[in-house]
Structures are given as structure tokens and as C-alpha cells.
A and B are shown apart, each in its own frame.
Chain A
Amino acid sequence: QVQLVESGGGVVQPGRSLRLSCAGSGFTFSSYAMHWVRQAPGKGLEWVAVVSDGGGFKSYADSVKGRFTISRDNSKSTLSLQMNTLRAEDTAVYYCARDCGEIDKKTTNAFDIWGQGTVVTISS
């Protein structure tokens, strides 16, 4: 079945780095843009970053721009998020999510498949 599985979360000190991964299966990973979305404890959803299907287009939320880098390896069906200079406000569950892609010839950057999430806690 279609599945996304995140890994790499943990507890790290402010200013340190962490790398998250997401493994896709059950679909043609290379045909879809992929996103990271996060949710701070007890809060709403926040989009973090996107990478296009081929990796040529990337975009970031202002809150992470310059600190986080999204990447993908289509040969391994994996998505990554390199997070540097982490702050307390980066504490959240991080979800990888699949982009809906083109529906009826219209680009639809909504998220149709979500992973279960990986927990990132920034604390000294």
C-alpha cells in the first residue's frame, strides 16, 4: 500500500543539527513533489518545505529559510530534511507528505498521503 515512513527525530540542543528522512513505498516516488509539514505541540499545521518531483524546484517557509534544506533521492525513494541551527520553536512533529500533483490538468499542491510523523524536540 502507499506509505510514507519518517525517521531521524530526537532530542537535540539549541544550535545543533538534525537530519530527518522519509521513505516512500507503494507508489512511483519520482513522479510526485514532496513536502515537509510540522505541528508544534498542541498547535496547528505549518508547511515547512517542498521539493519538486525531479528535485529542481525547492521552496521554504520563511521561518526555516537559510537553516533547513530539503532534498530527495529518487533512486532510493527517500526524502530528507537537513535542519541546522535548531531553535526551541522548531520543536514539533514533522510529517512528510505527498503532493497531489496535477489533477484534471491543474496543479494541486495539497497533501494526499501523510507519514505518521517523527518527533523533534529542541531543548537544552
Chain B
Amino acid sequence: EIVMTQSPATLSVSPGERATLSCRASQSIGSNLAWYQQKPGQTPRLLIYGASTRATGIPARFSGSGSGTEFTLTISSLQSEDFTVFYCQQYDKWPLTFGGGTKVQIK
């Protein structure tokens, strides 16, 4: 199975600053990567698919990049509602697998 590793586990950022989250795959997955946001007590929300395409209704401050084994989610200017947990997920091969998550907290 493809192992997805997210770093850092916790990221401390000030409101209005840029946040950069990383996701690494144990083997090449092309661009078959999605990012999700999960707020406390809520259902995950799809942010990005195809490594870089924003899902419907996702603000432009969220952007994804990368291919192969290295991927990045960038939040250009953190808003209060962005201090949550983010997960990456590969869909190149079965079984589908998620990263362990990155918690973005207020610095």
C-alpha cells in the first residue's frame, strides 16, 4: 500500500500569514492527490483534487502543487476558520490511503 506522510504534524502560524503543508507519497502517484479540511466536530471537506484543482466553492487562498511523490498545500493568508486539520489522500492505487494530518494552530 502507498504510505502518505504529512509534515509537520502541527504548524503554528499567525492570522494573515502564509501556511505551507507538505505531503509525501511512498511511491509516485502522478497527480492523483486530494486535500481535505476537517473542522472540529465536522465532516471533512474536499479542497483540492488532481493535486492542484480547487473543488467547487473553495476560496482562492487555497492552492495545491506537486506531482510524483512531493505535494504542497498552501494557504496564502490564514483566516480564523482555517485553523483546523488538513489531510492529503492518494487515489492512484487501491487501497486509497490518507496522510496522518497536519493541524494548523494559531501562533
Contacts and interface: CB of A to CB of B under 8 A. Distances in A.
Interface string A20-47: 0000000000000001010000001111
A110 B49 contact: yes
Nearest to A45: B98
**For chain A, what secondary structure do more than half of its interface residues adopt (helix, strand, loop), or is it mixed?**
strand
B96 A47 contact: yes
A21 B28 CA distance: 35
A46 B98 contact: yes
**For chain B, what secondary structure do more than half of its interface residues adopt (helix, strand, loop), or is it mixed?**
loop
Contacts of A46: 98
Interface of B: 1, 32, 34, 36, 38, 43-46, 49-50, 53, 55, 87, 89, 91, 94-101
Given A46-B98, A103-B49, 12 more contacts: A44-B98, A45-B87, A45-B101, A47-B95, A47-B96, A50-B94, A60-B95, A62-B1, A103-B50, A103-B53, A110-B34, A114-B43
User: 5 closest pairs, A vs B, by CB?
Assistant: A109-B91, A110-B34, A47-B96, A114-B43, A45-B98
Interface of A: 35, 37, 44-47, 50, 59-62, 95, 100, 103, 106-112, 114-117
